[in-house]
């Protein structure tokens, strides 16, 4: 009997060693791809230089670690054990709260007041927004600021205790008071969804996502169009709600679960999924719009199709990358002529969620204010990213050598070559 147990144990151990190795080449065990941003080391080439310098051994070791058979399965087993036994997860900037609720670390820190932009800075931003709004109004144009909310402010009871905020003083509450006092056009979904929380039969957020449900995205899109109609005196074509289908949460409604790459599926809510239709409107009086915002905008566009209501539309993601209605191409914000966009567009919308209130506008507010005072845009977030990449080049000897070679070939300075390299990376 003991011999049989030993043989079974030895056979199982041997299988654990041999099967992944065979699956590296044959792939006879189909494995579900991992979700999220997965960086895999590329294979390397063996030559005398790489061998004697030691680079081949290091790069080959990294490649084998990232590509061996059953790697995805072992990662899921590892993540599942951490989640089930320690109530933790491996996704960057996501924390696990009570009863399995997951939250954005940035949202939690903003809600608790740990990340706070300072009252002086907030007053300055609201004053600039008021000036921009009044100046646009004189040009028969409309400015709207949207507070998209977030899971933390919607489910504070499930936050880890260290992020609780009994005094309720944070970027949101201060900004909300300043907006009310100044008269800046604010569509506050923080407030609206909280008021409807106990009344609505359908959920606005799920316990394992950082964004709106599809129902909330459609409700927000419809409400935003009505808000623009009210303050801009426009008649916009809304998507028609054909029906609501109750089905299992999917897509961005379970994004945290997907990114955790667990072995077993978590509990999924039955959610309301609107079925929409849209009758094209070719009327000549449809306004054009410029959106600036964070990832919550994608719910307005991809779920509600808000761009359909406008004759032309652009979206500047974090005031860095420009997306244009009717085009698959994107471009850097520095290639956008802000003065021309002010002339061409009728409506300007800033969409900001809870974790981003401390950086409201991402430099767009300052640049708009500057344009109205005869100053060129600064695009601070873009240039910050350029500087980060250039510092990365300086700290990577191999990368720096390639950039120096390119600079010599083009007859430009190394700094200019680094800037070109950083610009290319951002835009691609």
pLDDT tens readout for residues 75-109: 777 778 888 787 777 777 888 899 889 899 999 99
For residues 246 and 271, the answer to whether their CB atoms sit within 8 Å is yes
**Would you state the structure tokens that stand for residue 395, as one six-digit string?**
């700290």
**Residue 27: pLDDT over 80:** no
**What does the pLDDT look like over 303-337, one tens digit per residue?**
999 999 999 999 999 999 999 999 999 988 888 89
Q: According to the model, what pLDDT value does residue 279 have?
A: 78
Highest mean pLDDT among 183-187, 392-396, 409-413: 183-187
Residue among 358, 364, 355, 354 at smallest CA distance from 317: 364
Contacts of 51 (CB under 8 A, 6+ apart): 57
Q: Which phi and psi angles does 288 have, rounded to 5°?
A: -105, 155
Helix axes 105-112, 171-182, angle to 10 degrees: 70
Band (pLDDT 50/70/90 cuts) for residue 147 is very high
**What does the pLDDT look like over 186-206, one tens digit per residue?**
999 999 999 999 999 999 999
**Would you state the structure tokens that stand for residue 407, as one six-digit string?**
């600079």
In this predicted model, which residue has the larger pLDDT, 310 or 416?
310
How many percent of the chain have pLDDT more than 90?
50
Instruction: Report the chain's mean pLDDT, rounded to a whole number.
Output: 85
* Lowest-confidence segment of 18-32, 50-64, 144-158 by average pLDDT: 18-32
Which residue carries 């800033």 as its tokens? 350
Contacts of 398 (CB under 8 A, 6+ apart): none
* Lowest-confidence segment of 45-49, 187-191, 209-213, 269-273 by average pLDDT: 45-49
Q: According to the model, what pLDDT value does residue 412 have?
A: 80
Q: Which DSSP string do the residues of 23-46 spell out, in sequence order? A: HHHS--S--PPPPS----PPP---
SS3 at position 179: helix
Classify 181 in phi/psi space as left (phi over 0), alpha (psi -120 to 50) or beta: alpha
Q: According to the model, what pLDDT value does residue 352 have?
A: 97
**Residue 142: pLDDT over 80:** yes
Highest mean pLDDT among 16-20, 164-168, 358-362, 385-389: 358-362
Q: How far is CA 322 from CA 317, 325, 330, 348, in A?
A: 6, 10, 5, 14
What's the average model confidence in pLDDT over 154-180?
93
Residue among 46, 74, 78 at smallest CA distance from 59: 46
Length of the chain: 428
Q: According to the model, what pLDDT value does residue 116 have?
A: 94
Q: According to the model, what pLDDT value does residue 338 have?
A: 92
Question: Is the sign of the CA dihedral 382, 358, 365, 352 positive or negative?
Answer: positive
């Amino acid at each position: 009997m003991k011999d049989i147990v030993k043989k079974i144990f030895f056979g199982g151990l041997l299988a654990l060693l041999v099967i992944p190795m065979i699956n590296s080449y044959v792939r006879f065990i189909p494995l579900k791809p991992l979700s999220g941003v997965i960086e895999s080391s590329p294979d390397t080439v063996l030559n005398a230089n790489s061998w004697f310098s030691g680079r081949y051994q290091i790069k080959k070791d990294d490649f084998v670690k990232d590509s061996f058979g059953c790697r995805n399965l072992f990662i899921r087993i590892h993540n599942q054990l951490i989640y089930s036994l320690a109530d933790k997860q491996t996704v960057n900037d996501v924390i696990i709260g009570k009863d399995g609720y997951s939250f954005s670390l940035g949202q939690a820190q903003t809600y608790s007041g740990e990340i706070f932009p300072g009252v002086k800075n907030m007053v300055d931003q609201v004053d600039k927004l008021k000036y921009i709004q009044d100046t646009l109004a004189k040009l028969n144009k409309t400015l709207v600021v949207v507070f998209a909310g977030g899971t933390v402010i919607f489910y504070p009871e499930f936050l880890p205790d260290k992020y609780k905020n009994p005094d309720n003083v944070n970027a949101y509450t201060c900004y909300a008071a300043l907006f009310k006092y100044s008269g800046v056009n604010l569509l506050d979904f923080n407030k609206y969804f909280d008021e409807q929380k106990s009344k609505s039969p359908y959920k606005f957020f799920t316990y394992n996502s950082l964004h709106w449900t599809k129902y909330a995205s459609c409700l927000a899109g419809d409400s935003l169009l009505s808000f623009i109609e009210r303050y801009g005196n426009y008649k916009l074509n809304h998507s028609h709600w054909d029906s609501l289908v109750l089905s299992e949460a999917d897509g961005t409604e379970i994004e945290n679960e997907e990114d955790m790459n667990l072995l077993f599926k978590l509990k999924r809510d039955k959610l309301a999924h609107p079925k929409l239709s849209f009758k094209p409107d070719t009327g000549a009086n449809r306004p054009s719009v410029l959106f600036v915002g964070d990832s919550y905008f994608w719910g307005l566009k991809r779920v509600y199709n808000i761009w359909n209501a406008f004759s032309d539309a652009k979206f500047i993601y974090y005031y860095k990358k420009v997306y244009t209605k009717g085009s698959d191409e994107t471009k850097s914000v520095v290639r956008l002529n802000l003065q021309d966009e002010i002339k061409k567009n009728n409506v300007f919308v800033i969409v900001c969620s809870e974790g981003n209130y401390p950086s409201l506008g991402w430099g767009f507010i300052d640049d708009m204010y500057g344009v109205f005072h005869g100053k060129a845009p600064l695009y601070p977030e873009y240039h910050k990213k350029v500087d980060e990449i250039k510092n990365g080049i300086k700290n990577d000897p191999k990368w720096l050598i390639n950039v120096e070679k390119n600079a010599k070939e083009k007859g430009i300075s190394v700094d200019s070559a680094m800037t070109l390299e950083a610009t290319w990376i951002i835009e691609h």
